[in-house]
Amino acid sequence: MLKKTLESVLSTKESDELISAFDQIGHIIIIRIPDSLTSKKKLIGETLLDQVKSAKSIFYQSSSVDGEFRTRDLEILAGEDKTETEYKESGCRFFVDVRNVFFSPRLSSERTRIAEFVNNDEVVVNMFGGVGIFSIIAAKLKKCTVFNIDINPFATKLCKKNIAINRLVGNVISIHGDASQVINSQL
């Protein structure tokens, strides 16, 4: 799809070099561009913004997912330099900040698969829970209680917001901290 959208600004060779996948998360598109095409990254960003009507921001991913928080470096190519957006999955709504927290739209079938393992009335500890996507989808699907722990304060703050907008206060509990310490001291 990315290659097709960019046919008008890239040669066939350049188009073949381009990584064919890109992620769209709400109004945000994140693309990875090979070194041979970085001189054209602005043009690529502007073309995508023009062609993909639901997009408001195009970011270039300039690092791999890394560090304790598993985040990535993003450079704005076109549109608003705003990294918080709303994403919908499995009938739930999520606020994510693609610069400050880990988030991947590619795990949606894995999230459904894991949620189906949970039984009604179970208590689940999600030790590396991020903004709460696995936890909230499980709690929407099953009558369970989920403790969503994350060491990244941006993630636990967004998780609290996501619990509230999905009306799961009391069913999902967002806890900030190192999972091993939280489990020993609080759970």
Ligand X SMILES: C[S@@+](CC[C@H](N)C(=O)[O-])C[C@H]1O[C@@H](n2cnc3c(N)ncnc32)[C@H](O)[C@@H]1O
Q: How many CB atoms lie within 10 A of CB 53?
A: 6
- Show Cβ contacts of residue 156 under 8 Å, excluding neighbours closer than 6 positions: 148, 150, 174, 175, 176
Residue 149 touches ligand X, criterion: CB under 6 A: yes
Q: Does the CA dihedral 44-50-53-57 come out positive or negative?
A: positive
Residue 151 touches ligand X, criterion: CB under 6 A: yes
What DSSP character marks residue 119? P
Q: x/- site string to ligand X, residues 66 to 85, per CB under 6 A?
A: --xxx---------------
The residues with which 145 forms a beta bridge, in sequence order, are 123
Q: Give CA–CA dist 153/130, Å, rounded.
A: 9
Residue from the set 133, 146, 158, 172 that interacts with ligand X by CB under 6 A = 133
Residue 174 touches ligand X, criterion: CB under 6 A: no
Residue 176 touches ligand X, criterion: CB under 6 A: no
Residue 183 touches ligand X, criterion: CB under 6 A: no
Given the rule CB under 6 A, which of 5-13, 56-64, 99-107, 112-120 is the region that contacts ligand X?
99-107
The residue at minimum Cβ distance from ligand X is 130
The distance of closest approach from Cβ of residue 45 to ligand X in the complex, given in angstroms and rounded to an integer, is 25
Q: Give CA–CA dist 168/172, Å, rounded.
A: 6
Q: Kindly determine how many residues on this chain lie close enough to bind ligand X according to the rule CB under 6 A.
A: 19
Interacting residues toward ligand X by CB under 6 A: 68-70, 102-103, 107, 127-130, 133-134, 149-152, 155, 178-179
